Structure 1
Amino acid sequence: MRPILPLAALSLLCGCGGGGGTSAPPPPATTCPIPTAKASPTFAADILPALQGSCGSSATSCHGGASPTGHVSYAGTAAEVHARLVGAVPANAPAGAGWFLVKAGDPAHSWILEKVTRDQPGGSGYGTRMPQGAPNLCQPTVDTLSAWISAGAHND
């Protein structure tokens, strides 16, 4: 009966992710990074982590690295990402419609909100709802993003 005890301990250890010093895989991206809407969100503490957690920032994600397939990268410091978003003209939006990736104070002309709330953003031919291939962003996250844009999309 003694040989069974070490085997049982080993299988319990491996089943709980403690086997042999290997690290557990990173947690999966979520489509509800902000489960409760925030009325006064900040970019660095709320918006950037939500974008990185649901849309990616690593070089292998749609919105990571120097040449992201998603047209805008969420990788880098808060100041770098903010500069790429606020007041920037999107690469894949209908021309002449007044779109900006983020138009401070104007959620209705902020392409990022169009992309996360519409199945056919901008009408046919401008891609699909984001995050692509994942469930839609939860409403509290969308509401928080909208509140940040409405308040001026500050880099705080």
Structure 2
Amino acid sequence: MRLTVPLALLSVLCGCGGGGTATPPPAPTTCPIPIAKANPTFAADLLPALQSSCGSAATSCHGGAAPTGHVSYSGTPSEVHARLVNVVPASAPPGGGWFLVKPGDPAHSWILEKVTQDQPGGSGYGTRMPQGAPNLCQPTVTTLSAWISAGALDN
């Protein structure tokens, strides 16, 4: 009798969740934007792409409050935008005019350097991102560059 009540309660609780199966999180990808976008927005296009290919969970390189990857993609779009735009990177060569994202200037945006160069900034400044994964696909890189060229708006 004691075992019957907990089992009945468990079956009721599991039955209330829409079948009892959880939707698995999407798999990480290095092609989160498979078709380049000419007018991307940060919140709808760029941040989800960065989170899916670079991480935002506390256990990822770019997640949590103290990320090992020097910048966190965790938080609201405005919080992440503030940590990226017009911010001097911790790991870029000095004197290069680098910013994580320099609005209107993809050539001095460290984020683009990091995802397009095997030795970003020259030897000694890390490796191409995402580390340990295939390179970002060209449509994703093109979309990121278009957003930066258009002023890297918090939209």
Coarse TM-score class (shorter-chain normalised) = 0.7 to 0.9
The answer to whether 1:71 aligns with 2:70 is: yes
Tell me the amino acid that sits aligned with residue 85 of structure 2.
Answer: V
Superposition CA RMSD, Å: 1.1
TM-score by length of 2: 0.86
For residues 21 and 37 of structure 2, the distance between their equivalents in structure 1, rounded to whole angstroms, comes to: 37
Return the offset for 1:21: 4.1
Per the alignment, residue 151 of structure 1 pairs with 150
Structure 1 CA distance for aligned equivalents of residues 20 and 41 of structure 2? 38
Alignment deviations for residues 96-138 of structure 1 (CA, whole Å, 9 cap, x no partner): 1000000000000000000000000000000000000000000
Aligned to 1:94: 93
Match of 1:134 in 2: 133
**Shift in Å at residue 23 of structure 1?**
3.5
What is the TM-score when the length of structure 1 is the normalising length? 0.85
- The one-letter amino acid of 1:48's match is L
% same residue: 82
Looking at structure 1, the residues matched to 147 and 141 of structure 2 have their Cα atoms a distance apart, in angstroms, of 10
The residue matched to 2:82 in structure 1 has which SS? helix
CA distance in 2, matches of 1:98, 1:40: 26
Paired positions, count: 137
Structure 1: gaps of 5 or more residues: 1-19
SS in 2 for 1:80: helix
Q: Which residue number corresponds to residue 32 of structure 1?
A: 31
SS in 2 for 1:113: helix
Cα distance in 1 for partners of 2:26, 2:78 equals 25
For 1:67 and 1:74, how far apart are their aligned partners in 2?
Answer: 11
Report 1:80-91 matches (<5 A): 80-91=79-90
Distance in 2 (CA, whole Å) between partners of 1:117 and 1:57 is 21
What is the CA–CA distance in structure 2 between the aligned matches of 1:77 and 1:61, rounded to whole Å?
17
The code of the aligned residue for 2:29 comes to T
Distance 2:124 2:23 in 1: 40
Q: Give how far 1:78 is off.
A: 0.4
Shift of 1:27: 2.6
The answer for the alignment partner of 1:120 in structure 2 is 119
Matching residue's letter, 1:130: M
